[in-house]
Structure 1
Amino acid sequence: MTAAPLAAVRPKAAAPLGDERLEEILRALDPGFLRLLDWNWGRRVITFPREHPVIGLPDCPVPSCPLAITVATRPMCSGCTERWCATGLPLEEFLLIPKAISKGIGQIPCAVDRCERPQTRVAARLCDSHHLQRTHKLGRLPLEEFLAHPKVVGLSGLSPCLVESCYLDRVGRQYPYCKAHIQRLRTAREKPGFEEEAWRLTEKAICTTREVSLRGLPDQLVAEVLYGLWSRVANGFKTRPECLRPLYDRLRTHRIRTLEEVTDPTALGGSREQVMMLRACQLALRRLNATPETERVKDVWDMSVFGHTGVIPFTSLVQEPLREAMKVWVYDDLPRRRNKNAVHHARAVISAVALLSESLWLQRPDRGMVPAAWGRGDIVAFSNRMGHLMATGKLSAARRLAFTRFVRRVLLRFRTLGLAAPGALLEGMAVDFAIWPEDMPDEPEDTEAGRDLPEAVMRELCAHLDRLEEMSNVETRVATELLIDTGRRPDEIYTLPVDCLQQDPDGSPVLVYDNHKAYRFGRRLPIGGETAAIIRRQQQRIRERFPATETGQLKLLPRPKTNPEGTKEIKDISSAHREWVDSLPDLAVPLVTVEADAPVTQLVPFDKSRIFPYAYRHCYAQRHADAGVAPDVLKELMDHRLITTTQGYYRVGAERRREAVDRVTALQFDRHGNRVWRTALSLLDSEHVRRAIGEVATPYGVCREPSNVAAGRSRLPPAVQVPGVRALLHRRLLPPRPPGPPRRPAAQS
């Protein structure tokens, strides 16, 4: 777009700031999108194309019908659909019947060559002037003879209709309006208190099914709504003309100059869809040319500017110095967190610091506004408040510990960032305003038996997968099946490309995925044949659904909406999964109790809140651990960096603990060469623990003779001169000691 066509429609007395913002929006508009809409800055009418994956409106298939299909679920336009329902004919037969000539919408040029005036009568195909010439001056000649008559020449066009939103031409010199608005004016004049000037400013335009008029709106507002429409189409959101027209009419009626003036979109009225469109347009304009440098000074950050999703609000921090310091901390911490949980982590830390801010506000006379006044007493008050919140049930023990850790780390980071230095945000912050190790609450005992699901529950879930597909869609079912079979994190399944299935050299199927949390891509996971079959069937469905898209751009689990090309993955299945789980009948698991010294098995209801997508990852780990998979192998299967992380995903069952004891029972000897724990099968677990209390760990095992710990070490090599090793190894490592001289008897007194 060039500045030349815009200069003709720009107001003469525009504010400099408005001109600068207008030019900024115009530079951001895609010229190809404007050509797609057949946009002209003089006419100012949006024309929806016939073929486009998002905003395309195909022609009505009924012969002689000039309208378009605006509802994708209907085979024809709305008018023809109503006529078809009234006839009761089969669709194939109805589509062969031409539509009768109707008045139509819009204007058609006069049939006379080079005549710029519109037709006023569809049957006559002539403008008013030529119709009068034909009927009164040339004796009602046939139309063909009239068009060839030498006295019939083309006429210049008339001025546009005086209705501000209308782009049609007036039909005659005696009428200042188009034909349709002349009829509307006659009806409007019958209402009491009618004012023609106000009617001209607010009356709606006359548009066809593909047209949306932006006439009568200020220049900057026109540019803003065009940019908002382009952003919406680029994100794959379908937009209908019948939804845009009333929205723009309301903007025209309320005399809105820019969308920044609309603080509450619901105040304009309209449907929920129109309110959402207006808010999406405002959001797109706020993101226009936004940078991390401009975003970091705001109290609510739009994380799309930083390459993430969602927002981070700092409004919960009451004290301005603390709020500004947290902005510095988040800005410094974001680059070190490359996974999708960066925003979630930052919001959790801000919530923890918000509790500190609340504590300062409640217990300090100055409301905590002066960082130099913060001290040890404020930390004590904060710790006591955290204990109060936990005692009243507003904070769990685990969350209290996590929040205290967050605050401790943030306060330490404030100092390393230099925020407590002279002239900085937290100038004068005392050294004792910090959480010391002794201030940390105790680690809560891990009383959870495990987050995996019992076998009986898993059987019920797998038996009702068809119901999940009926309630949601096939992508939700496939995602759930892959979560169960592979144990991957939900994000790792959602983002799978369509070509995620490969084979090892031996022909075994392998799932290729990206570990977003650890920033490790192209990971390979061996899978079973049934899981591979699920993926192959889904691949076939996706290729049939999006044949025009390249395979490398397709997603295995595409989003059902705003995704015309299949290149966007599903966001989350948690809501559909929860609705499915809640709809299932009550789940029961067996529980063994003892009654009258006899075991009794009872069925107890299972808590459905424990069934969520991430629980399948724990089931995967527990399933492999119960099968005897080595911890180091399970670590690789879980794609963890540390084996301690893997150990938190499963528990060692009683059967495996008993089996481990039985295996080593025959290999246990004491220092006399006698077997120990001969009766290990009859020992209780408490006896095993009691027996382990007296053992002393040594580099070569354990020692059950505490007296050996203090034994001499002078004859041992330096590498084994440690407590307890001499008593265990002096028989094997050292030669026998030669006998010494006989001891003399003690003297008699």
Structure 2
Amino acid sequence: MTTAVRRALSSALTDPQPSVAPTWTEHLESRIVRDWRKDEFDAKKLVFTPDPGNPRTSAGYCQRSGCATLLPRAAVCHSCRNDHKRSGTVLSLSEWAPQAEPPARFEPKVGCLVSDCERGHGGNGLCHSHNARFGRWRKTHDDGDVAAWIVDDRPRALSARPRCRAGACRADGTGRNGLCYGHQSEYLKWERSGGTTGLAVDADTWLRTTREPPMDSEKLTSYSSAAAVPFGALPEPLRWELLYAVQQRDLGGGVLATAELRGTYRALLRSGRTSVVGATLLGRTSNNPYLLGLLNEWQRHIDDAHRSWSGIDDRDPQIIYLRDLELTAAATPVGPHAKVDLRPIRQSWIADSYESWVRAAPRSRHNVSYLLHMVVLIDEILTVRGTPRTALGRPDMDAIVNGIRKRWHLDHTQRRQIGLLNKFLADCRRDEQLQAHWADIPATFALDLARHRPRGTKSRTRDGDDAFRFVPQPIIDHLMDNLNLLQRRTPYLTAEARAMLFLQERCGRRTTETIRLKEDCISYDDQGAPYLEWEQCKPPYKMGKRLPIHQETHDVIRQWQQIKREHGIESRWLFPAVQRPGVDKPWNSTYLQTRVQDLVNVVLEQAPYEGVAEGPEGNLMHFDLRALDAYSFRHAFAQRFADAVDADGRSTTPPDVLQEYMGHGSFNTTMAYYQVTAKRRKKALEAVAPRRLNLQGAAISVARERDGFTKVAVSLGHCTEPQNVAAGGHGCMVDHACESCPFFLVDPLERDGMEAKRHALRVKLERARVINAQQHLLDHYEARIKDTSTIIDGIDAYIDGLPEHERLAIREAVERMADIRRRATAARKIDLRQLLEANDDT
């Protein structure tokens, strides 16, 4: 060996070899999940054997004893139904199936009755050759049977023949093609039809495309008897393509449709394909919408993987799929077919600018859509005007803004589009990749924010939160008191509708937030108090502030979860849609709105609301129940929180806390509910003379014009002590024991608040006695209780001494304010289990 050869060999052994890109088959094989469904999938043999006991496997076997036919769910197969009809039995199908004899089509073949004959069964207990001779003999012996024929003809035993080549067939093969008589007949029929398009017409091709190898070569069990799918029976890379697609879809959640999977595998086996990359629906056709969706998703997974491996995208470059973009978080996932179509844009520089913008940074799904509509409009306007790109200027921008004003007539939509256009223009001028287009565009082609302002119609309903709508609480109470009138097609749907409406009213979430509550939406604090966990359906799509809920609301959620379990429904959503089996998605917001209308309609029909309700100004009004929608419950919920007070009459929900609970973007939206409370108080006060009571219960005339200068608001009344008024309420001399202060004045309307405060003081007194507090502290509480009672007695005496019309007016106002406070803090109870049982009984 020469030195040069030795050096070359040494270099070849030591130098790093260039990496070889994996083939398509190797790429797919490396992405297969080997531990996928461990109890059902054999990674070595590539065989999937469904387990009907797995809740994530849509499979069940025929309920007839001995029948192993696979069905989408446990039932009786078509063949056994026919056997039941032919049997003439008086038993119903469900009674007959468990005790019927096993179907004859599953009985194993027996050997030939001729002594020492080694061939298999072919009819009448004889092999095919002996059965043929018996048939000829019987033509001349009408009363003869097999035993008589054997004695008369004395047939000789025949040697064994090889087993039929067709899968797990137990019959003897013939000399031709190695098939039994039955499979030979099937093959000839296939041969006469021309076989499979594009493949050779011979027995080997027929066996490969129509027959599976035996699952067990010794017992000769077939894959079909176990409803198994042998992916390895498909050629490469088709086996890996189908397996990869099935795994990817299954790992996303849902139920694996076994019948559709095996049907697709059989169709691919018959087609003779070696790959389905770029095909449509894996080469199948169907009228079943569910199967079409399943095939489409499998095909998408295969094509996406192939594009990732090859780096070649043969899709239309003018169509951008949102799944390929980096989008900001959203409440709803992006579908596989969501796309942006640039084909309507005729000027390439506009299309290039838009595509660069959507790919440059994470964009919101809404802005991608809003800007697309706007650039299509810009393209239309500039094409009609015919201005060259290098001559664009202010008149062109004026025309574009005028087009926006005509296309989007509302003020807030114009503001959104104009602001988005301003950002789009700025990004395009900064983008280096677009300099070939934008470097020649004059700087005068820009927005003048002072000139190009929105001039649209003001919208009062642009957002359910921004458009404040007052809903009288008695109206909502009346609806919920009659929730038991709501009935749907089934007890399950009835319980679902009632639970959904109950949570919407009790928790006050937006419709989408209620619909998209998760199964684990309840949490607890360290004291065991329940809280509701919810996600905002508006940007930034984060978890909302934990909402404290009543124990009754907690119980309704738990009852509904138990009902779902009893109906065999497992989902990560609290209210899963049951329209499409195997698809784990919640209902949409329209579904909740429809249930509200159902409740309103049944209440209007069977228990209409009679009388008038209190309006937002404290006025009386007739309210049309048909104006209610799902958001009405949310507005009523917020109003209840704004009205709620504690035992001392103080508001229990500060505005900033309510803003977090409701997820309001604007503080003004939250304050609208507190303004209603103030307006109702003012309206109630106008019904009586301007009087206030002091510590001794004596009524003092008040000049309302001077109130703002001589008093400061405190709990349940006003303080007139000069230094405390000057300090804005922060200079109290008696540590806010207002009922014992000579400068404290209370409105008669606060009687219920004073009652609550007296009760709270009595509780404090009892607790102080339990812990053996000092006598001076006990005396302090007793004195405060006495002073509070004096004020209450003074209010009662004052009201009793009023003229009849004033006394009735103030008592009505006091009762109204007390009723508002009671409703604001009261829980609501509904027993879903009891209602469901009542439906079953009827």
Query: Which of 262, 277, 291 is residue 274 of structure 1 equivalent to?
Result: 291
Which amino acid is 1:20 matched to?
A: T
Opposite residue 440 of structure 1, the aligned amino acid is R
Corresponding position: 1:410 with 2:437? no
Report the secondary structure of 1:381's partner residue: helix
The one-letter code sitting in structure 2 at the alignment partner of 1:285 is I
Pick aligned residue for 2:592 from 577, 591, 595: 577
| AA matched with 1:538 | W
Name the structure 2 match of 1:745.
none
Residue deviations 1:209-228, cap 9 Å, x none? 62568799653334323323
Alpha carbons of structure 1 residues 212 and 373: separation in structure 2 relative to 1, 3 Å: farther
Matched residue, 1:536? 558
Normalising by structure 2, we get a TM-score of 0.57
Cα offset for 1:495? 5.2
1:380 Cα deviation (Å)?
A: 0.9
Match of 1:31 in 2: 34
**Corresponding residue number in structure 2 for 1:646:** 670
Q: Is this contact kept in 1: 2:486–2:498, CA < 8 A?
A: no
Which aligned pairs between 1:282-301 and structure 2 lie closer than 5 A?
282-288=299-305, 299-301=319-321
Structure 2 stretches lacking a partner, 5+ long: 1-19, 136-145, 148-156, 213-222, 462-466, 614-618, 645-650, 693-701, 709-726, 729-842
Name 1:399's counterpart in structure 2: 413
Q: Counterparts of 1:95-494 in structure 2 under 5 Å?
A: 95=97, 97-100=99-102, 102-104=104-106, 121=122, 159-160=165-166, 171-177=173-179, 180-184=182-186, 194-195=193-194, 208=224, 210-211=227-228, 219-238=236-255, 243-244=260-261, 247=264, 258-263=275-280, 268-288=285-305, 299-303=319-323, 306=326, 308-310=333-335, 311-315=338-342, 317-334=345-362, 342-364=364-386, 370=389, 372-390=390-408, 395-418=409-432, 422-423=435-436, 426-437=438-449, 438-442=451-455, 444-447=457-460, 450-451=468-469, 458=476, 462=480, 463-464=482-483, 467=486, 470=489, 472=493, 474-475=495-496, 477-490=498-511, 492-494=513-515
After superposition, the C-alpha distances for 1:520-552 in whole angstroms (9 at most, x for unaligned) are 5473212223312212323444566779x9xxx
Is residue 2:96 matched to residue 1:94?
A: yes
Call closer, same or farther: CA 1:443–1:96 in 2, change over 3 Å: closer
Structure-2 separation of matches of 1:419 and 1:232: 37
Counterpart AA for 1:300: I
Please tell me whether the aligned partners of residues 450 and 651 of structure 1 are also in contact (alpha carbons under 8 angstroms).
Answer: no
Shift of 1:18: 13
> Match for 2:591: what amino acid?
A
Partner of 2:56 in structure 1?
54
Whether the 8 Å contact between 2:394 and 2:446 is mirrored in structure 1 is yes
Q: How far apart are the structure 2 equivalents of 1:496 and 1:347? A: 27
> 1:63-112 deviations in whole A, cap 9, x for unaligned?
3x2423404252x434334545663425775355342551349x989899
Secondary structure of the residue aligned to 1:30 is coil
Change (3 A) 1:365 1:493: same
CA shift, 1:439, in A, is 0.1
CA displacement at 1:279 relative to structure 2: 0.8
The separation in 2 between residues aligned to 1:40 and 1:506, in whole angstroms, is 49
Residue 723 of structure 1: aligned partner:
none
For residues 252 and 546 of structure 1, do their structure 2 counterparts lie closer, same or farther at Cα, with a shift above 3 Å needed? Answer: closer
C-alpha distance in 2 between matches for 1:440 and 1:589: 47
Partner SS, residue 601 of structure 2: coil
| CA distance in structure 1 between the partners assigned to 2:499 and 2:629 by the alignment | 17
Shift of 1:676: 7.7
- Secondary structure, in 3 states, of the residue corresponding to 2:446? coil
1 or 2, which has the higher helix percentage?
2
Preserved CA contact (<8 Å) 1:22 1:223: yes
Cα 1:82–1:101 change in 2 (3 A) is closer
How far apart in 2 are the matches of 1:640 and 1:601? 28
CA distance 1:40–1:606, change in 2 (3 Å): closer
Change (3 A) 1:298 1:359: closer
The aligned runs of 1:53-92 (5 Å cut-off) are 53-55=55-57, 57-63=59-65, 65-72=66-73, 74=75, 76-84=76-84, 87-89=89-91
Paired with 1:110 and 1:305, the residues of 2 have a C-alpha distance of 66
Does the Cα contact within 8 Å between 2:515 and 2:575 map onto a contact in 1? yes
Q: What amino acid maps onto 1:321 in structure 2? A: W
Q: Helix, strand or coil for the counterpart of 2:99?
A: coil
Q: Which amino acid aligns with 1:378?
A: D
Q: Which has the higher contact order (CA 8 A, sep 6+)?
A: 2
List aligned pairs for 1:487-526, cutoff 5 A: 487-490=508-511, 492-494=513-515, 496-504=517-525, 508-515=529-536, 517-518=539-540, 520-521=542-543, 523-526=545-548
Partner of 1:696: none
User: Per-residue deviation at 1:128?
Assistant: 6.5
* Residue of structure 2 in register with 1:744 after alignment: none
What is the distance in 1 between the residues matched to 2:381 and 2:278?
37
Residue 447 of structure 2 aligns to which amino acid in structure 1? Answer: I
- The 8 Å contact of residues 60 and 66 in structure 1, kept in 2 or not, is answered as yes
Q: Give distance in 2, aligned partners of 1:27 and 1:129.
A: 52
Task: Note the C-alpha offset of 1:488.
Answer: 2.4
TM norm structure 1: 0.63
Summarize the Cα distance change of 1:521–1:600 in structure 2 as closer, same or farther, 3 Å threshold: closer
Report the Cα offset of residue 240 of structure 1.
5.1
| CA shift for structure 1 position 281 | 1.0
Q: Give 1:510 shift.
A: 2.5
Question: Aligned letter for 1:511?
Answer: L
Q: Helix, strand or coil: the match of 1:300?
A: strand
SS of the equivalent of 2:533 reads: strand
Q: Distance in 2 between matches of 1:212 and 1:572?
A: 33
Q: Count residues in correspondence.
A: 601
* 1:728-739 → structure 2 map (5 Å cutoff): none
Contact preservation (8 Å) 2:509, 2:634: yes
Aligned to 2:660: 636
SS at match of 2:545: strand
Offset, 1:28? 2.1
Deviation at residue 350 of structure 1 after TM alignment: 3.1
For residues 26-45 of structure 1, the C-alpha deviation after alignment (integer angstroms, 9 at most, x for no partner) is 22223345986667999x98
| Aligned counterparts of 1:128 and 1:18: Cα–Cα separation in 2 | 56
Deviates more, 1:463-472 or 1:318-327: 463-472
- Specify whether residues 503 and 59 from structure 1 end up closer, same or farther in structure 2 by C-alpha distance, changes over 3 A only: closer
CA RMSD of superposed structures (Å): 5.6
